[in-house]
Structure 1
Amino acid sequence: MIAEKVEFIFNQFKHDSTFVKHHELESGHINDTYLVTTKNKPYFILQRVNHNIFKDVPGLINNKLHVSLHVKEKLKHLPQNELNRRVLSFVKTKADQAYYRGDDGNYWNLMYYIDNSYTYETVKDEEIAFEGGKLFGEFLNLTHDFPVSKLTEVIPKFHDMSFRYAQFESALNSASKQRLDHAKLYIERVADMKEEMHILQHLKESGDIPLRVTHNDTKISNALFSKNNKGLCVIDTDTVMPGIVHYDFGDAIRTICNTAAEDETNLDIVEFNLDYYKAYKKGFLEKMNDTLTPTEIDYLPLAAKTMTFIMALRFLTDYLNNDIYYKTKYQEHNFDRAKNQFKLIDSFTDRYNQL
């Protein structure tokens, strides 16, 4: 039945391809994403956007389209085949819409699949870290002149620390005694770190750090690489919206410099890799240095700690809320993710003065 449904939805879009099969890509926490194989290439990526999480899906898809077109205009000097590998390209529906909405209320969008491309869940060497820094830095550089007022804030207060603390405190009031007792050590740590974790938010609110177009989910798995490990394309732009550069830099460092997957349960192998940090920052600044202010550069190290913390806080909050936000594979999955991120913070703190 699912194959028939995917084929039906795929055929609501304008293309000249014949559906053969689909394969679910399971790397994301929120949306359902399928690789659609067709009789002849190109293949496609079909995505169901989770409208329970994203309340303005048309705004979200328009964000993706407009930013993609802006980047394409900046790179129009490239040959067409190269341009198609460097920027996401979207397919409109037969009704000439950017998305298809099914009778069940679900929203779908379709993109061309970038062939011969690769993703990494974790970074294995400094070359990937450096190329990742260049790729995300280039994305921010190419969009630095895009007017943020034209973007929909698809998840209001997404990285707002005060908001995340309020969610956490609400979860404390409704959580079961069993989960509160289980998470007691980490609940205390959240309270201890509150003042430091608000520094970037205060700088943003005061205007000392400017608003920019930001990706807001710059984990390394959202970067496509060529077979020779060169950065190709930034993907999963669902969360593109106004933000500060530290959101993107910090979240990238969170995943790139973790020596293990974010749900690794053996905390002995979760460490902050300083060499990967240096490599990523070198690549990032190679593309971004001319557009960053001195204040933005000064606070890049704190961004790494802050964005790791905010993910730890969100995983812990969801655990206390009985796992209502993130997809989980087992009962303690969110708690394991939270412990993992706190261990990364500890390792980061040990190396902080070197940064």
Structure 2
Amino acid sequence: MILNKLNSIYAYFNNNDEIISFDQLASGHINDTYFIKTKQNSFFILQQINSGVFKDVPGLINNKVLISNHLKDKKKHLSPIELKRRVLSFVKTLNGANYHKDNDGNYWNLMIYIKGSITYETVSCETVAYEGGKLMGDFLNLTSDFNPSNLIDVIPNFHDMSFRFNQFNEALSKASEDRLSKANKYIKLVSDLKEEMHIIENLKASGDIKLRVTHNDTKISNILFDLDKKGLCVIDTDTVMPGIVHYDFGDAIRTICNTAAEDEKDLSKVKFNIGYYDAYVQGFLKEMKPDLTALEIEYLPLGAKTMIFIMGLRFLTDYLNNDTYYKTSYLEHNLDRCKNQFKLIESLTEQFNKMKI
């Protein structure tokens, strides 16, 4: 049944082929993404964008294509084959559009699969951390001359701390007694950290930190590596939009330096790995340092703490809202994610003095 549906979608894209097998990729929280193999032995990524989360899907897809085209222009010295390994390539529909809208109002886009690539859900060596930092620094460096005003805000206020606190407070006022009781410890931690967690937002609002093109979802699983653990390509560019460097740096550190998956229930396994942090910073600054101000560099460590916090806050808010945003696999999934992030903040805080750049 699903294969028939995917083939009906695939037929709208520019090809003379047919899907013979597929696997659903489960790493994302928001979209439905499929790895597909065709009769002609080609491989693609077919993705349905969640229009319940993303209110302007055509604009989102346009963002992705604009940034990919910009990166391809910057890397045009590479061979066509190598370029397809280094930058996401989108397949147009038969009528020349970048997406297909089905009869149910769902939006689909099709990307060429990058062969010989792997992803990591967690990091197990400093080489991967270093390569991840280098590749994300390269992405931000190469897009630094792209005017961020040419991109739509895919999710307005995405990393805006005041906005996230307003969402949290609203969820708090409506949450069930049972969920409030189970989350009580983390509700207090949110209150304790509130002032510190607004520092970077205030610097952004004052104009002291530059607005630029940012990826906004830089978890380690959104970086492709080759089989030798060398960075290949930044993927999952759905949330590319205007932002500040601390968002991308911080969210990468959040996943790279967590010694466990973000929903690990055994909190004794959750620690902040300072060695991975140092390796990521080294790779990141190798590509990005010339474009950063002293003030931006100074606040990168706080950016890491802030992004861990904001994800913990969002998981907690969704839990209090009865799990309406993130996909969950069981009843307490969002609460476990929240606990995980706050344990990571605790471990980071113990080592914060070692994080200065």
TM-score bracket, normalised by the shorter chain, equals over 0.9
Matched, 1:272 2:289: no
**What corresponds to 1:150 in structure 2?**
150
In structure 1, C-alpha distance between the alignment counterparts of 2:66 and 2:211, rounded to whole Å:
18
In structure 1, C-alpha distance between the alignment counterparts of 2:295 and 2:142, rounded to whole Å:
21
**What corresponds to 2:125 in structure 1?**
125
In structure 1, C-alpha distance between the alignment counterparts of 2:150 and 2:251, rounded to whole Å:
24
Counterpart contact for 2:7–2:18, Cα < 8 Å: no
In structure 2, C-alpha distance between the alignment counterparts of 1:136 and 1:142, rounded to whole Å:
10
In structure 2, C-alpha distance between the alignment counterparts of 1:102 and 1:81, rounded to whole Å:
31
Shift of 1:354: 1.1
Deviation per CA, 1:33-79: give whole Å up to 9, x if none.
00110123431100000000000000000000000000000000011
**What corresponds to 1:222 in structure 2?**
222
Shift of 1:16: 3.3
SS at match of 2:58: helix
SS at match of 2:351: helix
Matched, 1:103 2:103: yes
Matched, 1:114 2:110: no
In structure 2, C-alpha distance between the alignment counterparts of 1:173 and 1:229, rounded to whole Å:
47
Structure 1: 5+ residue stretches without partners: none
In structure 1, C-alpha distance between the alignment counterparts of 2:170 and 2:120, rounded to whole Å:
35
Deviation per CA, 1:327-347: give whole Å up to 9, x if none.
000000000000000000000
In structure 1, C-alpha distance between the alignment counterparts of 2:269 and 2:23, rounded to whole Å:
32
In structure 2, C-alpha distance between the alignment counterparts of 1:26 and 1:354, rounded to whole Å:
35
In structure 1, C-alpha distance between the alignment counterparts of 2:158 and 2:17, rounded to whole Å:
38
Shift of 1:22: 1.4
In structure 1, C-alpha distance between the alignment counterparts of 2:192 and 2:349, rounded to whole Å:
14
Deviation per CA, 1:137-157: give whole Å up to 9, x if none.
000001000011100001000
SS at match of 1:70: helix
Percent identity, aligned pairs only?
64
Spell out the pairing of 1:238-277 with structure 2 (5 A cutoff): 238-277=238-277
Counterpart contact for 2:209–2:295, Cα < 8 Å: yes
SS at match of 1:158: coil
**What corresponds to 2:325 in structure 1?**
325
Q: Which amino acid aligns with 2:73?
A: E
Total equivalences in the alignment: 355
In structure 1, C-alpha distance between the alignment counterparts of 2:351 and 2:281, rounded to whole Å:
15
Counterpart contact for 2:3–2:19, Cα < 8 Å: no
Spell out the pairing of 1:12-91 with structure 2 (5 A cutoff): 12-91=12-91
Shift of 1:159: 0.1
**What corresponds to 1:282 in structure 2?**
282
Structure 2: 5+ residue stretches without partners: none
SS at match of 2:124: coil
Shift of 1:299: 0.3
Q: Which amino acid aligns with 1:38?
A: T
SS at match of 1:35: strand
Spell out the pairing of 1:291-330 with structure 2 (5 A cutoff): 291-330=291-330
In structure 1, C-alpha distance between the alignment counterparts of 2:328 and 2:18, rounded to whole Å:
34
**What corresponds to 1:171 in structure 2?**
171
Q: Which amino acid aligns with 1:285?
A: L
In structure 2, C-alpha distance between the alignment counterparts of 1:291 and 1:205, rounded to whole Å:
20
In structure 1, C-alpha distance between the alignment counterparts of 2:16 and 2:292, rounded to whole Å:
44
SS at match of 1:227: coil
Shift of 1:11: 1.1
In structure 2, C-alpha distance between the alignment counterparts of 1:216 and 1:316, rounded to whole Å:
20
In structure 1, C-alpha distance between the alignment counterparts of 2:42 and 2:208, rounded to whole Å:
46
TM-score by structure 1 length?
0.99
SS at match of 1:213: strand
Deviation per CA, 1:198-241: give whole Å up to 9, x if none.
00000000000000100000000000000000000000000000
TM-score by structure 2 length?
0.99
SS at match of 2:23: strand
SS at match of 1:247: helix
In structure 2, C-alpha distance between the alignment counterparts of 1:270 and 1:198, rounded to whole Å:
25
Q: Which amino acid aligns with 1:315?
A: F
Root-mean-square deviation (Å): 0.6
**What corresponds to 1:159 in structure 2?**
159
In structure 2, C-alpha distance between the alignment counterparts of 1:252 and 1:94, rounded to whole Å:
37
